Structure 1
Amino acid sequence: MKASELQAKDVASLNQELSELLKAQFKLRMQKGTQQLQDTSQLGKVKRDIARVKTVLAQKASK
């Protein structure tokens, strides 16, 4: 997800997106722990998306 797409969303939808990404990250970590995760690059992608959402939320809070 691109930062420009996130900036167009409101705070409530960003919080919802963040919670969904955190759930996805948890599921991926559990799959990795049980040796069921095939594509380990998904962990990094989800982590970066979480950082993007948190950055946009911080920018909106500072305005």
Structure 2
Amino acid sequence: MWLRTYNIAVKAASGNNDIMAAYFPVMMSRQGLNCFEGPSSRSINNWKDLCTAFVNHFQA
């Protein structure tokens, strides 16, 4: 839900995938960013990869 809301907010402000990726770390808490550290973070090359990693880590 958070990711969808973030996506809508950035697009409403005329942002694109590059803007979403650039501001993503600013919007996340330190705990939320922990999942993007380490060897698996090297497989994130674009916005789609980041979304997939986020959902895989945080889905209940």
Instruction: Please give the TM-score of this superposition, normalised by the length of structure 1.
Output: 0.28
Compare CA radii of gyration and give the structure with the larger one.
1
